[in-house]
Amino acid sequence: MEKKKKGRILSGMRPTGKMHLGNYVGALENWVVMQGEFENYHLIADYHALTTNPDTSEILENTLEMVADWLAVGINPEKSPIFRQSQIKEHAELHLLFSMLITTARLERNPTLKEQVKDLNMESLVYGHLGYPVLQAADILLYKGNVVPVGEDQAPHVEITREIARKFNATYGEVFPIPKTKLTTFARLPGLDGNKMSKSVGNTILLSDEEEEIKKKIRKAITDPQKIRRGDPGRPEICLVYTYHQRFNSTETEEIFKNCKSGALGCVDCKMKCASAIADAISPFTEKQRYYSQHFGEVLDVLKDGEQRAGAVAADTMKEVRDVMSLG
Ligand code: TRP
């Protein structure tokens, strides 16, 4: 018999296209582990993507590329439905009802929004962007998610979700659980330039990169600026490449630390070891990755199936919502 599951997890990501190592270490790896313990729902936040870019011409392709990588790393769509927010109309419906239960002042206080405004140099916001966390609350609560695995930047959104759930339950009747945030515990994997790994910055290693490509990229990665040539003692504790070794090459890290410190190991050799270790770490995914990226039709079928199953759950919740609100 199937083990009793501990609850429901709702995880989501905007459709950003091919996945990189940061996505893997920060999220996907976790999702794969959790699918045995919990009932998982994997949402593609394609409406959320429109809050910062209304251009829809690449959304489908980005979605398929992303999902091909999810499948390659081991997300099992039979256990855990994968679905697009935009294909289940209840997301829009619940978002509207929730938008009556939170003030604009509360949404303007959202620290993640403030940071985005600063980072993207935005002069003003579209209305939907202010409501970003309200849509996210609908995503989570439609499936009665108990646990939401997110990075730190998303924690304020789960807090808003909790507030909306409490407010709804107090106003109309108990429908929703109060979900918990599960913060990803490991430090974020930095990109090749030492900043946050991100597609828009162009400092990523992709899960679909071949070993040669990884080598080329790692060759350009920053290292200890004081170690100029082999023989110079290095400081692995501040070196980006050493961080990658720690994560992807644990059996050799001790030796690399020692030999970098003493100067015996030069940066070029160290980088090549690192590139091979990364290539080895992602090699179990390569075959499936290639397969799915050449069979987008099958990826789309996975989505359609997930949308049917998730849609049934969403419809049930929405019926309950309408009943307690006397909107039946
Ligand atoms: N806002 C999330 C992000 O940018 C994506 C997201 C949308 C999400 N809906 C969600 C995450 C529901 C968790 C649960 O990363």
Residue 48 near residue 84, CB atoms below 8 Å: no
* Tally of CA atoms within 13 A in the half-sphere of 278 that contains its CB: 32
Pairing of strands 82-84, 8-13: unpaired
196 is catalytic: yes
Structure confidence at residue 199 (pLDDT): 85
pLDDT, residue 187, reads: 63
Residue 65 beta carbon below 6 angstroms from any ligand 1 atom: no
> What digits encode the pLDDT tens for the residues 57-102?
999 999 999 999 999 999 999 999 999 999 999 999 999 999 999 9
pLDDT at 196: 87
The two tokens of residue 231 are 């023989």
Q: How many whole angstroms from 304 Cα to the centroid of ligand 1?
A: 20
Q: Output the CA 136–ligand 1 centroid distance in Å.
A: 6
Class of domain 8-190+295-324: alpha beta
- Give bridge partners of residue 141 from the DSSP assignment: none
Contacts 24+ apart (CB under 8 A), 167-170: 167/101, 167/102, 168/98, 168/101, 168/141
For residue 99, give the 3-state DSSP assignment.
coil
Q: What is the pLDDT of residue 188?
A: 79
Verify whether ligand 1 is closer than 6 Å to residue 289 (CB atom).
no
> Which residue is listed with tokens 């509207």?
96
Three-state DSSP state, 190: strand
Say if residues 66 and 44 touch (Cβ distance below 8 Å). yes
To test ligand 1's pocket by mutation, which of 43, 47, 53 has the most ligand atoms within 8 angstroms of CB?
A: 43
Question: Does 145 contact ligand 1 (Cβ within 6 A)?
Answer: no
Dist CA 236 CA 233 (whole Å): 10
Per-residue pLDDT tens listing for the chain (328 residues): 456 778 999 999 999 999 999 999 989 999 999 998 899 999 999 999 999 999 999 999 999 999 999 999 999 999 999 999 999 999 999 999 999 999 999 999 999 999 989 888 888 899 999 999 999 999 999 999 999 999 888 999 999 999 999 999 999 999 999 999 998 766 678 999 999 898 888 899 999 999 999 999 999 999 999 998 889 999 999 999 999 999 999 999 999 999 999 999 999 999 999 999 999 999 999 999 999 999 999 999 999 999 999 999 999 999 999 999 999 8
Is 182 a catalytic site residue? no
Q: Of all protein residues, whose CA lies closest to atom 6 belonging to ligand 1?
A: 12
For ligand 1, atom 8, the nearest C-alpha belongs to: 12
Q: Which residues belong to CATH 3.40.50.620 in the chain? A: 8-190+295-324
Q: CA 56, 27, 19: angle at the middle one, nearest 5? A: 45
Query: What distance in angstroms lies between residue 245's CA and the mean position of ligand 1's atoms?
Result: 30
Q: Which numeric CATH code is attached to 211-289?
A: 1.10.240.10
Catalytic residue among 5, 18, 89, 118: 118
Q: Indicate whether residue 150 lines ligand 1 (CB < 6 A).
A: yes
Residue ranges of the chain assigned to CATH 1.10.240.10 = 211-289
Cβ within 8 Å of residue 298, ≥6 positions away: 292
- Considering the entire predicted model, what is its pTM? 0.94
Q: Which residues pair with 148 in a beta bridge?
A: 181
- Give the whole-angstrom CA distance, residue 178 versus residue 94: 16
Task: Show the tokens assigned to 113.
Answer: 């929004």
Distance in Å, CA 248 to ligand 1 centroid: 27
Atom of ligand 1 nearest to the CA of 13: 5
Using H for helix, E for strand and C for coil, what is the string for 39-81?
Answer: EEEEEECHHHHCCCCCCCCCHHHHHHHHHHHHHHHCCCCCCCC
Contact 129, 51 (CB under 8 A): yes
Q: Which amino acid is at 76?
A: N
Residue 325, SS3 per DSSP = coil
What is the rounded distance in angstroms from the CA atom of residue 114 to the CA atom of residue 122?
Answer: 10
Query: Is 273 annotated in the active site?
Result: no
